[in-house]
Structure 1
């Protein structure tokens, strides 16, 4: 019997396309560390590098059945990590510029009514973004971020694995980050046009 570790990337990816969890796990274990190092060199943040690599693997699993890769899987993964890392840096720069602008306005001493309304709308929209998460994802996210429970406490309370908790929180954060960045871009654009 041939061990999965002896399979080529192409053979493993063919298995992933058919929903083979073992093939996916082998690819994950084969590439996670080197992709994390690659992302970390670009982003300079362990947490963001982990998010990038997790997003790449989540996308690989969820979209494998419809994906066609025209280069080697290794090249595809490295390119994906590089692009997603650069996107994360760009989004962070936009968010930082917005935050700097907001802090400057607040430093004047008193925000005008429009800024207060905009800030309150932002808080409401973030709450709405969390409320739009699927119920179980929302519950796990709130238990972690609002209530401050550890992954193991959440896993024990909900009778699920710690891995499931981590994966769910990562997916929730990815959804909310994407949603929030889109809002910030729109808000910044409207602010510039006014």
Structure 2
């Protein structure tokens, strides 16, 4: 029986003709679509949906080519629709991830700025000499020996003042 006769019988609600078409084209359609999806389950769903749509819309479908060509084109179009939706969903997910990442950076920046301000306030509360030694150590990145030489004090005094500064900052922070 040729495709045109089968199609006419399907349009007249002949389920046996539909079953013949299904048995005839299911495997080739599945193999064709599986090449695109690389996923057996998705390929099966697409092919099954193609046949379901054919049966449901049989009275309104006009086939200008062969039934086989129509089925292959219909299955391919269903694959394209799914692929487009998936791509759109993937983009949406990526956008959400990016927005989340950016907002986390902003939160981290705000937190960091708050911490910096808190430390600056604590450093400002230190005794004059202690603050001076700490700033030389951390802002100008001088070694303890260089600080001692610059301020004309002993290295032990520099060590003690740094220890006091860190202790007070830790305690109040």
TM-score above 0.5: yes
Counterpart in 1 of 2:23? 29
Cα distance in structure 1, aligned partners of 2:104 and 2:14? 59
**Would you say 1:83 and 2:74 are equivalent positions?**
no
Cα distance in structure 1, aligned partners of 2:104 and 2:41? 34
Counterpart in 2 of 1:47? 41
Deviation string for 1:61-108 (max 9, x for gaps)?
011112110001111111111222122111111110111122233344
Cα distance in structure 1, aligned partners of 2:62 and 2:35? 28
- CA shift for structure 1 position 50: 1.3
Please list, as runs of the form range in 1=range in 2, the aligned pairs for 1:86-165 lying within 5 A after superposition. Answer: 86-107=80-101, 108-109=103-104
- What is the TM-score of this pair, normalised by structure 1? 0.50
Cα distance in structure 2, aligned partners of 1:106 and 1:47? 32
**Would you say 1:67 and 2:61 are equivalent positions?**
yes
Does structure 2 conserve the Cα–Cα contact (< 8 Å) formed by 1:28 and 1:57? yes
Deviation string for 1:156-186 (max 9, x for gaps)?
xxxxxxxxxxxxxxxxxxxxxxxxxxxxxxx
From the CA coordinates, give the structure whose radius of gyration is larger: 2
Gaps of 5+ in 1: 1-6, 111-194
**Would you say 1:9 and 2:3 are equivalent positions?**
yes
Counterpart in 2 of 1:20? 14
Cα distance in structure 1, aligned partners of 2:39 and 2:97? 24
> What SS is found at the alignment partner of 2:57?
helix
**Runs of at least 4 residues off by over 6 Å:** none
Cα distance in structure 2, aligned partners of 1:56 and 1:66? 15
- CA shift for structure 1 position 18: 0.7
RMSD over aligned Cα, in angstroms? 2.1
Counterpart in 2 of 1:124? none
Gaps of 5+ in 2: 106-173
